[in-house]
Structure 1
Amino acid sequence: MVPVGLALVLALAVAGCNANSSSDGSTKDKNTTAMESVPQGGTLHYLSRKATESFETANAQMVPTSRLRWVHRGLTSWQTFPDKDTILVPDLAKDTGTTDDGGKTWTFELQEGLKFSDGSPITAQDVKYGIERSFAPMFQGGLGYHKTLLEGGTDYDGPYDGKELDSIEVVDEHKIVFHLTRPFGNWPWIVSMPAFAPVPEAADTEPETYGEKPVASGPYMVTSFSKGTQAVLERNPNWKADTDQARLAGPDKIILDMGLNNDTIVQRLIDDKGDDKNAISNALISPSQFQRIESDTSISDRLANGPSGYFRYLAMNVKRPGLSDVRVRQAINYAINKSEIQSVYGGPKFGGQITSSIMTEGIPGATDYDLYPGGDTGDVEKAKELLDEAGVKNLKLTLTYPTDVSAIEEKEALSVKNSLKRVGIDVELKGLDGSTWYELISDAKGDYDLTTNGWGADFPSGMSTIQPLFASSEIGNGGGNASQYSNPEVDAAIDAAISEPDLDKAAEMWAAIDKQIMEDAPIVPFLVQRTQALAGSNILNYFMPAYPPFANELVVGVDH
C-alpha cells in the first residue's frame, strides 16, 4: 500500500505510445494500441534519481511492470495497454492459478523447462524460498499482503534459522500450493508481486547483498553493479521469449545510472543528445517545466501523460467533535474549490482530473458519481445551508500536512483553507515534516482535525484502496485510515468483497462500497492526479496505461 501524502511522489498513467519514428521511417501515433513487438538490439539507458537501485525482491515495493522485472519473473505478471484495462497473465506459471475451495487454497503449476541465468532449473522450491526470504526481519518494508494472508505468516521470521513456512506447499518441482487464512479472490494478483520471484537457496549466501547481483529468471542478468553509481544488465541466455507474455526484451543491454539529480535528468531528456536519446527515467517533471515541454512538439511528442493514477483527498477525522456530524462533513464536500486545487497541480492537462469518488480509472468497478454536486468550484450556499442545519457556527479546525517533499502540499492546504473560509469555517494550517506527519495521522489517538493525503493502489482492485483507507482495522498502528472512519456495515461489506473469488462480482461490490463510504462523507475527493514521464527520441512503445500509474518498462524498445 502506497501512501502519497508526500505529493510529488506521483507518476501516473498515460494513454498512448511514443510518437517516434521507427527504423523504417514510419511514425507510431500516441493514441494507437501498444506495439506487439519492438526492434531487437541497441542499448537502453535508465536515468535514476534514486540514490541506489537494487534488484532485491524481498523488500521491494515496485509494481510488476518496473525495471526489477527485467531481472526477475513472478508466478503471474501484468499486461498493460494504452486504451484498455491492465490484465493479469501467467508468467512462470502455466495459468493464473486455480482454487477449488472458494479462494482459500490456490494452486500454481510452473512451465516446463524454465532455467535461471546460471543454467539451473527454476523449481517450485525456488519460488517458495524466495517468498520465505521476504519474512526475514532484515527485509522489512516490502509489499506485505502475503505476510498476513498465508497461514502462519504472522509468526514466521524467514528461512535463515532453518525454518520453513508450511502454508507454502511444494508438491513437486513444478507445483506449488498456497494455504491462506481466509478466502481471498485477488491472490493471483498478489503472486505477481516482487516477493514471489524465485531465488535458489544455494545462491543466497550473502542475503544483504544478494540484490546487487542476483541469479536472474528474467530476460536480463546483472553483469556489473557499482552501488550508488551504475548497474549493467545484459541478456540472460537461458530466458526464452515464448515462455514470457509480459516482456518484449528489445534492448541487448541496459545501463542504469543511479543517484542523478531529478531536474538534471529532466533537462537531459529535454535536450535529447547522445545516449540520452535512448533513455527513460523515473524523474518527476515539475509543473514549471511543462510550459517548455509543451511549447516544442519535438519534446511534447516524447511525453507520456497519464489519464489516471494517484488519488488526492482531504481526510476529515470523524472522531473530532467538530467533524462528528455527517452534515458538517457533507458541507465541507460542497465547499471545496476543486478547480483551484487542480490548478495547483498543473491544471487539467498535467495536474489531473477532478473527482468525487474513491476508486480511480483502471480499477475494476471504478464509477463516476457525485453525491455532493457543488461543481468544480464548490457550492457555498449549499455548504452554509448544511452547516446551519447542523447548528454549527464559528467552527475552527486545524489542517495538518507534510512539508518536506515540495511546496505543492502547502499550496493545496492553503486552497482548502480559503475554500472553507468562504463558508465560515476557520482553518489553521500546521505543516510537519513527513515522518512526523505520517506518525500523527497513523496513530489511533488522532490528534488532528483535517489532513491532505494521497494514495496509489498496489494492484488493480478496490481492495487495494478501500480497505487500507476505510476499514476499521486500519485505524492507528501505522494504518492508512486517516479519517478514523469506522462503520461496521462497511467493514462487513469490505470483508465480503475481499473474499469473493469471482473478480467481476467483486468489482461490483467494491463499486457499491465506494458509494456507501461517501454517503458518510469521511473524505473530500479532490483529484485523480496525472503523472508525466519523458523519454528519449529513440525510445519506442513508451506509454502509460490507466493502471498502474507508471510506464511499462518491460516493453520499451530502442530504435537503433
Structure 2
Amino acid sequence: MVNRSRKVLFGGLALVVALVVSGCNANAGPTESTSEGTATAMESVPTGGTLHYLSRRANESWETANAQMVPTSRLRWVHRGLTSWQTFPDKETILTPDLATDTGTTDDGGQTWTFTLKDDLLFSDGTPITAEDVKYGVERSFAPMFQGGLGYHKTLLVGAEDYEGPYDGEELDSIEVVDDQTIVFHLNRPFGNWPWIVSMPAFAPVPAAADTEPETYGEHPVASGPYMVTEYTKGSQAVLERNPHWDQKTDDVRLAGPDKIIVDMGLNNDTIVQRLIDDKGDDKDAISNALISPSQFQRIESDPSISDRLANGPSGYFRYIALNMKSPELADVRVRQALNFALNKAELQSVYGGPKFGGEISSTIMTPGMPGYEEFNLYDGGDKGDVDKAKKLLAEAGVTDLTLSLTYPADASAIEEKEALSIKNSLAKAGITVELNGLDSDTWYELISSGGDGYDLTTSGWGADFPSGMSTIQPLFASSEIGNGGGNASNYSNPDVDAAIDAAISEPDLDKAGEMWAAIDKQIMEDAPIVPILVQRTQALAGSNIVNYFIPAYPPFANELVVGIDE
C-alpha cells in the first residue's frame, strides 16, 4: 500500500491516508484473465522455493495478543484463527471457517456464539489444538503488557472490563470451554459481526504450557499455521519453515506454496522498492510491505516488465472532509449540501495521482468491496462540482460571505498541503473563503477527537478493520464516538441514526446487516456531515517469479497467504 502518512487514528486500521495508487493485477499471466483485465485468484500455486519478504518494519513479530494485522497477512503464515478471510481480485471478500467447522452459530440473536473445532488439528510441536488453547490465546490479549491491537472483543465479552489476563491465574468466564472442541463466547449485547471478530489475531490458539516468557513469545511461537519460526534475530531476520503437523485438508485459506520464507526486517522503504524494480537474484522471489513513491511509479509505469508485476487494488481507504456540526456556520444543512456540490473532486483526484493512481471519486461512506455497498450520489455536481447549485443553496440558507477554517495535519506529508490548497481554491469559486490551519499531527488529532469546536472543516481518511459497514459507519458517525479520542470528527449526532446503527450491529444475518448499513449510509448523507472525496487505491510490487499476487477490493493489501513461486 502506498500511504505516505501512516498515523493511526482513534483505533484499528483507521488511517490518515495520503497517496494510494492503482493499476492491474500483478503477474496475471498464470491466472485466468477476463476481457477487462482482472485476474481470478488461483486455486493452487507451485510448491517449492524460498519466499523472501522485505520488510520496512524495524521488527516483525508473530505475537498475536497485540497485533493489528488483518487475517490475510504474514502473521497468518504461523497462526490460524477460528475464522478467516478468502479474498479475490474480482469479487467481495468472504468469511470462511479456519480452525472452526463453520463461522459460528447463535441461538439468541447474536449475544452468545458457539464454535466447534475441526478434528485432528495439531500444533507444530505435535500436541492437539483445543478450545482451551483458543480461550487462553484470547485471555492473554487482556494482559497489561500487550497494549494495542484489534480489541473489539475487549468491550464485548461479559466481564472483560475488569479482566487483566491469565498470568495471575484468573480466567475470563465469558469464554466458556465446553469440551476440547467446543468454545462459547458470551457477549454483553447482540453483535452480528462476531464471526468477523474471531478472525482477528487475538483468537489464534496459544498453548499455556509454551507461554513461559510472554514478552518474547512472538519470536518463537508454537505454530498452528503452515509455517513455524525456526530462526529469529530481533530487528534483523526471521526464517520460517514448514510445520510438519499442518494439514492442507483442514485449511481453505492458505496455499502454502513456498518451502521456506525468509523475512528481512528494518530495510529502507525506497531501497526495497528499488530492489523490486531491479528484480535481481533472490529479489525475483520477493514481496514486501514497502510504499511506492510517485517518482518510482513513473519508472514502473514506463516499463511493462515492471508494471506487469504491480498488484493494484480496485478499492481502499476512504478519504473525506469532515464538517463540524458544532460550527454555527455549518448548522444549516443547505450549507453542508452546498459544500458537497461545490467541491471539485476531480482536482483533488489529480492531487492524489489521478484516476489511475489516486483512486475513484466517491459520494458514499461505504466503499466498494463492503457487503451491502450501494453506489449513490445525493449531491451530484459532476466530478468538477456544480458551483451554481452550491451558490443557490447558500442563497436559500441566507448565507453570504461564508468563511470557514480548514484544519489538517500539516506535518503528515506534502500531499496534505496540496489537498488543503485544492479545497480552498475549489470552494472559493462558490464564494466560500477557506482559511487554512495546518497543525502538527498530535495537536490536530487532539483537536478533532476532542468533541468540541475550534475548527469548521478537517480532512481525514479511514480504513475499515473488517468488511462490514459497521467498521466505518459506527466509529465515524455514532454519537458515542464524539470526543474522548473517538473518530466522529464531524461531531455528528442523530438519534435515529444511532438507533439504526445499534440495530445493524445486532443483526446476526450478515446479508441483512449489509442492506441495513447501506440504508444508514444514505440516511447519514442526507444530513451531509461530510464531503466524500475518494476511495483511494493501493499498489504493491512483487518479484518476477511471484504468482497469485493481487490486492482485492478489501482489504487494501495483497493476500500474503496465497502467493507462490514459479521459477
Q: State TM-score, norm by structure 2.
A: 0.95
The letter of the residue matching 2:354 is G
Q: 2:260 and 2:443 mapped to 1: Cα distance?
A: 42
Say whether the 8 Å CA contact 2:407–2:439 is kept in structure 1. yes
* Map of 2:418 onto structure 1: 411
Structure 1 residues 520-546: Cα deviation after superposition (integer angstroms, max 9, x where no partner): 000000000011111000001001111
Q: 2:42 and 2:282 mapped to 1: Cα distance?
A: 23
* Map of 1:375 onto structure 2: 382
* Map of 1:310 onto structure 2: 317
Q: 1:11 and 1:499 mapped to 2: Cα distance?
A: 35
* Map of 1:123 onto structure 2: 130
Say whether the 8 Å CA contact 1:64–1:194 is kept in structure 2. yes
The letter of the residue matching 2:462 is W
Matched residue SS, 2:145: helix
Matched residue SS, 1:431: strand
Say whether the 8 Å CA contact 2:143–2:166 is kept in structure 1. yes
Q: 1:469 and 1:257 mapped to 2: Cα distance?
A: 36
Structure 1 residues 262-285: Cα deviation after superposition (integer angstroms, max 9, x where no partner): 111111111111111000011111
* Map of 1:230 onto structure 2: 237
**5+ unaligned residues in a row in structure 2: which ranges?**
1-11
Say whether the 8 Å CA contact 2:21–2:312 is kept in structure 1. no
Q: 2:33 and 2:463 mapped to 1: Cα distance?
A: 33
* Map of 2:489 onto structure 1: 482
Matched residue SS, 2:346: helix
Matched residue SS, 1:55: coil
Matched residue SS, 2:360: strand
Q: 1:440 and 1:260 mapped to 2: Cα distance?
A: 34
Q: 1:269 and 1:306 mapped to 2: Cα distance?
A: 18
Q: 1:208 and 1:304 mapped to 2: Cα distance?
A: 35
Q: 1:404 and 1:280 mapped to 2: Cα distance?
A: 29
* More displaced 10-residue stretch of structure 1: 429-438 or 114-123: 429-438
Over the matched positions of the two proteins, sequence identity in percent amounts to 79
* Map of 1:178 onto structure 2: 185
Structure 1 position 19 matched with structure 2 position 28:
yes
Structure 1 counterpart of 2:431, from 424, 427, 433: 424
Structure 1 residues 170-222: Cα deviation after superposition (integer angstroms, max 9, x where no partner): 00111000001111111111100001001111111111111111111100111
Q: 2:26 and 2:109 mapped to 1: Cα distance?
A: 39
Q: 2:336 and 2:553 mapped to 1: Cα distance?
A: 30
* Map of 1:107 onto structure 2: 114
Structure 1 position 206 matched with structure 2 position 206:
no
Q: 1:404 and 1:210 mapped to 2: Cα distance?
A: 36
Say whether the 8 Å CA contact 1:132–1:158 is kept in structure 2. yes
Per the alignment, do residues 442 and 11 of structure 1 end up closer, same or farther by CA in structure 2, a change over 3 Å counting? farther
Structure 2 counterpart of 1:41, from 43, 48, 51: 48
Structure 2 counterpart of 1:524, from 507, 531, 551: 531
Q: 1:149 and 1:478 mapped to 2: Cα distance?
A: 19
Where do 1:200-349 residues align within 5 Å? Answer: 200-349=207-356
**CA displacement at 1:384 relative to structure 2:** 1.0
Per the alignment, do residues 446 and 7 of structure 1 end up closer, same or farther by CA in structure 2, a change over 3 Å counting? farther
Say whether the 8 Å CA contact 1:63–1:193 is kept in structure 2. yes
Say whether the 8 Å CA contact 2:17–2:317 is kept in structure 1. no
Structure 1 residues 357-390: Cα deviation after superposition (integer angstroms, max 9, x where no partner): 1100110111111111111011111111111111
Structure 1 residues 311-367: Cα deviation after superposition (integer angstroms, max 9, x where no partner): 000001011111111111111111111001111111101110001011001101111
Q: 2:244 and 2:237 mapped to 1: Cα distance?
A: 22
**CA displacement at 1:155 relative to structure 2:** 1.8
* Map of 1:151 onto structure 2: 158
Per the alignment, do residues 200 and 28 of structure 1 end up closer, same or farther by CA in structure 2, a change over 3 Å counting? farther
* More displaced 10-residue stretch of structure 1: 316-325 or 282-291: 282-291
Structure 2 counterpart of 1:365, from 372, 396, 419: 372
Q: 1:393 and 1:69 mapped to 2: Cα distance?
A: 56
Say whether the 8 Å CA contact 2:55–2:288 is kept in structure 1. yes
Say whether the 8 Å CA contact 1:16–1:34 is kept in structure 2. no
Q: 2:86 and 2:55 mapped to 1: Cα distance?
A: 24
Q: 2:409 and 2:239 mapped to 1: Cα distance?
A: 36
Matched residue SS, 1:255: strand
* Map of 2:96 onto structure 1: 89
**CA displacement at 1:431 relative to structure 2:** 1.8
* Map of 1:399 onto structure 2: 406
* Map of 2:13 onto structure 1: 2
Say whether the 8 Å CA contact 2:26–2:312 is kept in structure 1. no
Q: 2:480 and 2:511 mapped to 1: Cα distance?
A: 25
* More displaced 10-residue stretch of structure 1: 73-82 or 288-297: 288-297
Q: 2:151 and 2:21 mapped to 1: Cα distance?
A: 22
* More displaced 10-residue stretch of structure 1: 285-294 or 87-96: 285-294
Per the alignment, do residues 465 and 11 of structure 1 end up closer, same or farther by CA in structure 2, a change over 3 Å counting? farther
Structure 2 counterpart of 1:544, from 538, 546, 551: 551
Q: 1:219 and 1:340 mapped to 2: Cα distance?
A: 47
Matched residue SS, 1:270: helix
Say whether the 8 Å CA contact 2:26–2:310 is kept in structure 1. no
The letter of the residue matching 2:13 is V
* Map of 1:515 onto structure 2: 522
Structure 1 residues 443-470: Cα deviation after superposition (integer angstroms, max 9, x where no partner): 1224221110011111111001100000
Q: 1:404 and 1:216 mapped to 2: Cα distance?
A: 41
Structure 1 residues 43-85: Cα deviation after superposition (integer angstroms, max 9, x where no partner): 0011111111111111111110000000000000011111111
Matched residue SS, 1:56: coil
Matched residue SS, 2:257: coil
Matched residue SS, 2:84: strand
Say whether the 8 Å CA contact 1:444–1:475 is kept in structure 2. yes
**5+ unaligned residues in a row in structure 1: which ranges?**
none
Per the alignment, do residues 223 and 49 of structure 1 end up closer, same or farther by CA in structure 2, a change over 3 Å counting? same
Say whether the 8 Å CA contact 1:357–1:514 is kept in structure 2. yes
Q: 2:91 and 2:382 mapped to 1: Cα distance?
A: 28
Say whether the 8 Å CA contact 2:25–2:310 is kept in structure 1. no
Say whether the 8 Å CA contact 1:228–1:258 is kept in structure 2. yes
Per the alignment, do residues 500 and 27 of structure 1 end up closer, same or farther by CA in structure 2, a change over 3 Å counting? closer
Say whether the 8 Å CA contact 2:21–2:357 is kept in structure 1. no
**CA displacement at 1:27 relative to structure 2:** 9.9
Matched residue SS, 2:202: helix
Q: 1:361 and 1:242 mapped to 2: Cα distance?
A: 32
Q: 2:419 and 2:259 mapped to 1: Cα distance?
A: 44
User: Over aligned residue pairs, what C-alpha RMSD do you find?
Assistant: 1.6
Structure 2 counterpart of 1:197, from 197, 201, 204: 204
Flag as ranges the 4+ runs of structure 1 deviating above 6 A.
26-29
Matched residue SS, 2:113: strand
Matched residue SS, 1:7: coil
**CA displacement at 1:434 relative to structure 2:** 2.1
Say whether the 8 Å CA contact 1:2–1:456 is kept in structure 2. yes
Matched residue SS, 1:405: coil
**CA displacement at 1:21 relative to structure 2:** 6.2
Q: 1:156 and 1:444 mapped to 2: Cα distance?
A: 29
The letter of the residue matching 1:255 is I
Aligned residues: 555
Structure 1 residues 69-119: Cα deviation after superposition (integer angstroms, max 9, x where no partner): 000000000111111111111101111111111111100011111111111
Say whether the 8 Å CA contact 1:20–1:302 is kept in structure 2. no
* More displaced 10-residue stretch of structure 1: 51-60 or 310-319: 51-60
